[in-house]
Each structure stands twice: as C-alpha cells, then as structure tokens.
Structure 1
Amino acid sequence: MRGPHEEHAGVRIAHQRKLAGLTQRGLAARLPYSYSLLRQVEEGRKNASPDLVSAVARALRIDVTVLTGQPYVTELQQDRLAALIRPIREALDLYDLEDAAREAATAGDPASDGTAEHSSGGTRTAEELAAEADELCRMVRATHLSRAAHALPALIAEVTVAAHRAPSTALWRTLASAYRTAHDIATKLGFYDLATIALDRLGWAAERGSDPLLAAVRQYMRALAYFREGEHSIGLRLIEAGRAVAGQARDQDDHISLVVRGQLHLGASVISARAHDADAVSAHLREALAYATRTGEAGRVHWLSFGPANVAVHEVSAHVEMRRYGKALEKSRAVRLPHDWPLSRRAHFYIDRARAEMETGRSDAALTSLMAARKLAPQQTRYHPGARETINGLVAQRRRTPDSLDNMAAWLGL
C-alpha cells in the first residue's frame, strides 16, 4: 500500500471529494462504480482507470487534469519544457494580427535548433514553409518535443504573415499543420487548454483553405478531447460531424478521403469502448478495417498513422478501455508494428499493454512494457497519465506482495 502522502490519482480524488463535502459513499452514489472500488482507489490499493477518473471529474464538476495532476510542472521545469509553452501560446494568439505576427517572425530564430538555416524574415516560399511544418510534425511523432516546441512559434508567425499577404490553399494548410503540431505538443505535456486553442486555430485555417478533410480531422481531434473528459455522447457526435464533413470531399474514393474516414471510425471505436458499448466498438473496428484494407499503411496523410496496424492497436486499446484486460493481452500478442511507425504511436501501444499486464497481475511484464515505451519515447512516457498511474499500481502491487506471503506463511503454520 502506498504511503498516505504519495501523489497518485486516488489521493487527488480523495482531496477533491472532501473539498466538495462528500463522503466516499456519497461520491460513489454519483458514479457507475462501487463504493468498495472507490475506497480502494483512494487508498492506493487499486489503479485509477481513465474512465473512473473522468467519471469522478464529471461528478465533482472539475477538470480531469485536476485528478491526473497535469501538467506535471516539476518535471517540465526539470526538462526545461515549461518555458517553451508561453511562446507557443503567444504565437497562437497572433492568428489574425499580421503586423504582430510579422514582428514575431522577424524576431524569431528557428535556425537555432538546426531545422533550417535561415533568418525568419518571411522570405521563404510556400514549399519551404510546408517542408518545415512537415519536419516539425515528424519531430513530434518521433517524440523530439523540445526541439519541435522551440522552433514552432517562429514558424507559426512566419506562415501567418505569408498566408495573410498572399492567401492560398497551400499556405492555409501549412498553417493548419503548424497548429496541429501545437495541439500535439500541448496535449502530450498536459496543457489541454492550449490544445483546445490550437484546435480552434486549426479549424479557422481549414475553413480558409476550403479543405473538408482537414476540417474532418479537426472534428476527430475534438472528439478525442471529449473522450479524455469522459463525455462520450459529445465525442461520438463530433465523430459523426467529422464524417459528414468528410462526405463533402469531391472524390470519396481518393486515398486521403479513405484514410480520414477510416480514422474517424477508429476514434469512434475507443470512445464507444469508454462508454462500454461493445457492439458499437466491433462495428466501428470492422468499418475501419475495411478502409485499411484499401489504403494499406498510410503514415503521412494529415499527420495520421492509419492502416491495418493502427486498427489492431485500437482493438487492444478498446479492450483495455472496456476492462477486458485478458482479451487485450491476447490481441496485443498478434500486433505487428511497422518498422517505420512513429515512435509516439509505438510507445502508446506499449503503455496500453502495460496497463493490461498490470491489471492481470503480470507485474514484471508490465514494467518491461513501460521500459520499452520509455526507450522509444522518454518525454511522452514521462508525461503520459496512463504510464504514471500504471507505475503507481505496480508500486502498490510490489508493496503488497511481502505482506501476502507473510499471511500465507502464517496460515500454513510456517
């Protein structure tokens, strides 16, 4: 059992419950979970699953991040990442201010991280700007968060100026790409308010670029934000809105269209899993697999990683969300990740597998999976609430084991 002052979701739940003036039984009455489970979570004897955390947050009318402890300020300061968030926030605020964006672009120096050798005076071509936006996206997918975060504000400023001076579909798409990178960085570091702002900017750029598939991707990402908050019905409505927008694309059999529509089904599968709707999960996974069979592995379409491998990984995630941990482990053994898959996606798979292993008592295997995630994506793993809570669960299991052995030995008269 954890010590009384150790920081884990159960401790935060207990603190917020008391602030709300509720007993454990009073809070449990508002949840789709038992009083016994809530008590064990608060005491650190059971892991706080993401769906339980989101249910508590809804019941107490607080943000999920209050219970997960995000953003993890101490670690961010240690990794020198906290100071990189404010410039990104300021760059997002300049979306409709060409003069201010031009000043920021002139003052910036994105060459300092080695991604490009130029002064940010706004003289690059649309193709050059798009290439750097793609490179920053690649950095995030490779989990080089600090490098991407350092270069991003100046790029946003420069593309903002260029798009206002000579509007074109290509420049608006590039700006949307930069906003997507801002969203991904903010999400991975736990700054969900900033991630929401970045999504709003993405929608603004997609509208000006007249790109229905990009707008559909934004709806998919908005749905995942509500998924984190446990708002399943809103998340699913956003997925449906995304599918409607994607249906406006000129060529429904185009490769990009197939990828986006397939990814929307994957998003719906994990949201349905959080809602414990197994039939809907199966239906969405079947639809996604049908699309994936047609597209093959498609890793660079609107910064998605769609394909048969992602369908298999989402099936594992869905079983974890539905607390079918044995089934999740069974499915995980059949997963074959492509060699060129983004490190961020590979690490996420290992974090999911670790949770299933921990919940089925395979402590050593769970730790091995978490170590694999750390090796692939150290920054992402350090700031992933699932990884942190799984570690807390493993610590609790290890501390219980000696007591269990002592009790068994005493019972046997040893």
Structure 2
Amino acid sequence: MHALPQDHTGVRIARLRRERHLTQKALSELSGVPYSTLTKTEQGVLPATPHVIAACARAMRVEVSTIVGQPYMSELRADELDVLIRPIREALDVYDLGADPDVQPRQLSELKDEAEALCAAVRGGEIKKAATNVAGLIEEGTTAAHTMNSTEGWLTLASFYRTAYDVAAKLGFPDLAQLSLARMDWAAQRGSDAVLGGMYQYLRALTYLREGKYRTGQRLVTLGLSTLQQADKSRAREVVTGQLHLGGAVMAGRAHDEDQALSHLAEAERIAEKTGEAVKVHWLAFGPTNVKVHRVSVRAELDQYGEAVEETKGLIIPKDWPKSRTSHHYAEVARAQMWTGKLEDSFRSLLMARKTAPQQARYHPTVRETYAGLEAAHRRLPESFLSYGSWLGAN
C-alpha cells in the first residue's frame, strides 16, 4: 500500500478547478501561474510551491488550507490531538465574561511561569503538551486577569492566547488561529504594551502570509513597525522590529518582489548585529542565526533554489536554538534541495526535520509537499522513504 493518499495537492487543485467549471487555461490566466506549471502540478509531476498554492487559492476563492488538505484529521485523531481543539475554542469564548466564581486562580507569579513553560513547549516542538494545557490555563488566566486588573495579569493572559494561536496555526486551524490572535490583541491592549502590540501585528501578518494575501500582510508589517515606534527603546523593541522585517522579507519573497525582500533582510541583519542572539526575547529566536535562516527561506520563496542551497553552506544552528524553528528550517532546506535535484540530500533534511521536532514535522505542509515531490523518484531513495510516508499519512 502506498504511503500517501492519492489526493495530493495537485489533485485537489484540479478537483476544485472542475467544480468551478474552469479549464486549466482559464485557471492559469486567473492565477498567473504558467500553464505548463499548473498542468504538471495537477498531474503530480511538479510539487506545489507555496506561491502556486496561494495563487490558485486566490483565483478560486478558497482557503489555502482547503488546497493543502488541512487540518489532517486522520493524523490528528491518531495522535489524540483532535479532541483538544474544542476546549481551546471554548476557553477563547469566555474572554469578556469576567471572573469565573468556580475558578480559583493561582498566584500571578505561578501563572507567568506556566505561560513561559507553554512558550518553551511550543518552541521545543511539544505541540501536544501545549495543546493539552493551554485551554485550562486560558480559563485560569482569564479569571486572574479580570480579578487583578493589572498590567501583568493581562499580559500573562495575552501569552496564553499566543500559545493557543501557535497550536492552532501549527495544526492547521486558521480560523482558530485568527480568533486566538484577536483575543491576544484584546488582552495586550488592556496591558498597554506597545511591543506586544507590534508582535501581534507580526503574528497577524503571518496568517495572511499563509493565506497568500501578501499585500495585506505587508500592510500589517508596516503597521507593526509603526506600532513599535510608540514603545520605549529597549532590546525587546529591537527584537520584535527585526522579526517584523524577517516576516516582511518572506512575505515579499513569496510575492516574488526580490528588491523588497532583500531590503527587509538587510534591515533585519543590521538590527541583529546590535541585539545579538535573542532566542528567548518573546520567544522569537531573533538574531544573526535567524537572519541567515531567513535568507534560505527568501531565496526559496523567490524560486531561487540553487541560491537557497548555497545559503545553507557554513550555516550552523546553535544547540540552544528552538527545535520548532530548526525543524522548520530543515523542511525548507529539503524543499530547495529537491528542486535542485539533490534528492538524497532532500530526504536527509526531511529526516532531520522529523528528528528535531516530530510532532511539528508531521503537520507541516512543506514537509508533505516535499515528500510528494520526492515520491516519483523514490526508487533512487532508501527503503526508509516509504516508511517516512507511512508516518506522515498514518497508514
């Protein structure tokens, strides 16, 4: 039995296209995707790039998640993660009801420690751990924030909401991710933290990046940079500013605007020289390493895969770097290597993505698309290739 279902991204694009009574030529013209690229993508000859997926989604007016098949429900059920989504949604819904008389919150110092532990779990690739604990902590944090009505209380609640966003985004629930961000902004405003407000705009921009709405995403990056100007000068402000530029670089890269992408990268690099490695500042992993990693990402988004592979030379990931970010990097490297014909190297990078943060890699669209791209050449790859596919598809 084959490892992955035949309902790959290209097949979904074709099915959605036919449902809308569009020919391949018509969809090519509407999306701006070259006809030969579209036909080969539908056939599975070419893997679907994020740019192609987003362009087709916009043209057919569907969500990107619909095209890539998220959420991957059979895998979520197998990992017992599906049952954790509804409690998070319910916890997000009681934000404005005030203190719950049936909830006795702990001391704020303990809740702040819990918030940090959740952020650490997500960055460590422990998505199930974070998903299991976040709903109850949101409920406890909501009551604590309403009871104390203090800056620290609201900001702690905002951190819980951020973890809900992280979980929802990584598991492929865009609507829940957006709701989590709205709650994060609500709490951050009560905590009057301009730096957190800038970070909110960064995370919000990422949701538009995933949906292929690059113009709106860039506007949010600009708004975030403007918001940060209202904050007092601090290392945290510089870190979030730099991260916004990195997000803007990937946004511009995926929109195939090379000049703007490189401009954002240059500004991020300038800021990183001042901040140094700031891995735990708002858990953004900002610093010189992240700038180098984003250079790989941007070159890949620009379809400059050879240059992306070149950017990996001499790039050393620090041992204390977040496993989630490291796994994401290996997934992007695997994609670039696949497009340059380095199939065995690409599969090794997929293995590293899995080894570093298995829960994240299993639900990462880039991992799945790259595996699908390698599928046609699996005879040239080790037997473990099909085993990897079985793990992805839970077959």
**Per the alignment, in what secondary structure is the counterpart of residue 164 of structure 1?**
helix
Give the structure 1 partner of residue 63 of structure 2: 63
The one-letter code sitting in structure 1 at the alignment partner of 2:88 is I
Please say if 1:326 is aligned against 2:326: no
Give the structure 1 partner of residue 148 of structure 2: 166
* Structure 2 gap segments, 5+ residues each: 382-395
Q: How far has the Cα of 1:400 moved from its partner? A: 9.6
Give the structure 2 partner of residue 137 of structure 1: 119
* Structure 1 gap segments, 5+ residues each: 107-120, 402-414
Cα separation, 2, equivalents of 1:153 and 1:31: 39
Structure 2 counterparts to residues 79-98 of structure 1, below 5 A: 79-98=79-98
Give the structure 1 partner of residue 200 of structure 2: 218
Give the structure 2 partner of residue 412 of structure 1: none
Give the structure 2 partner of residue 42 of structure 1: 42
The one-letter code sitting in structure 2 at the alignment partner of 1:8 is H
User: Are residues 261 and 136 of structure 1, via their aligned partners in 2, closer, same or farther at CA, if it must alter by over 3 Å?
Assistant: same
User: Are residues 168 and 345 of structure 1, via their aligned partners in 2, closer, same or farther at CA, if it must alter by over 3 Å?
Assistant: same
Q: Which residue among 240, 262, 269 is the counterpart of 1:260?
A: 240
Give the structure 2 partner of residue 32 of structure 1: 32
User: Are residues 125 and 354 of structure 1, via their aligned partners in 2, closer, same or farther at CA, if it must alter by over 3 Å?
Assistant: same
Q: Which residue among 244, 269, 286 is the counterpart of 2:266?
A: 286
Give the structure 2 partner of residue 274 of structure 1: 254
**Per the alignment, in what secondary structure is the counterpart of residue 370 of structure 1?**
helix
Cα separation, 2, equivalents of 1:17 and 1:3: 26
Q: How far has the Cα of 1:31 moved from its partner? A: 1.9
Kindly report structure 1 stretches of 4+ aligned residues shifted beyond 4 Å: 2-5
Structure 2 counterparts to residues 8-407 of structure 1, below 5 A: 8-99=8-99, 101-103=100-102, 106=103, 121-122=104-105, 124-251=106-233, 254-398=234-378
TM-score by length of 1: 0.89
Q: Does 1 or 2 have the higher relative contact order (CA < 8 Å, sep 6+)?
A: 2
The one-letter code sitting in structure 2 at the alignment partner of 1:206 is A
The one-letter code sitting in structure 2 at the alignment partner of 1:203 is D
User: Are residues 301 and 102 of structure 1, via their aligned partners in 2, closer, same or farther at CA, if it must alter by over 3 Å?
Assistant: farther
The one-letter code sitting in structure 1 at the alignment partner of 2:185 is G
User: Are residues 186 and 11 of structure 1, via their aligned partners in 2, closer, same or farther at CA, if it must alter by over 3 Å?
Assistant: same
Q: Percent identity?
A: 48
**Per the alignment, in what secondary structure is the counterpart of residue 71 of structure 2?**
coil
Cα separation, 1, equivalents of 2:189 and 2:226: 15
**Per the alignment, in what secondary structure is the counterpart of residue 281 of structure 2?**
coil
Cα separation, 1, equivalents of 2:211 and 2:139: 31
Does the 8 Å contact 1:140/1:184 carry over to 2?
A: yes
Cα separation, 1, equivalents of 2:124 and 2:317: 15
TM-score by length of 2: 0.94
**Per the alignment, in what secondary structure is the counterpart of residue 98 of structure 1?**
coil
Cα separation, 2, equivalents of 1:324 and 1:128: 47
Cα separation, 2, equivalents of 1:250 and 1:36: 52
User: Are residues 73 and 210 of structure 1, via their aligned partners in 2, closer, same or farther at CA, if it must alter by over 3 Å?
Assistant: same
Count of matched residue pairs: 380
Give the structure 1 partner of residue 6 of structure 2: 6
Cα separation, 2, equivalents of 1:126 and 1:18: 55
Larger Rg: 1
Give the structure 1 partner of residue 384 of structure 2: none
Cα separation, 1, equivalents of 2:351 and 2:98: 46
**Per the alignment, in what secondary structure is the counterpart of residue 302 of structure 1?**
helix
**Per the alignment, in what secondary structure is the counterpart of residue 265 of structure 1?**
helix
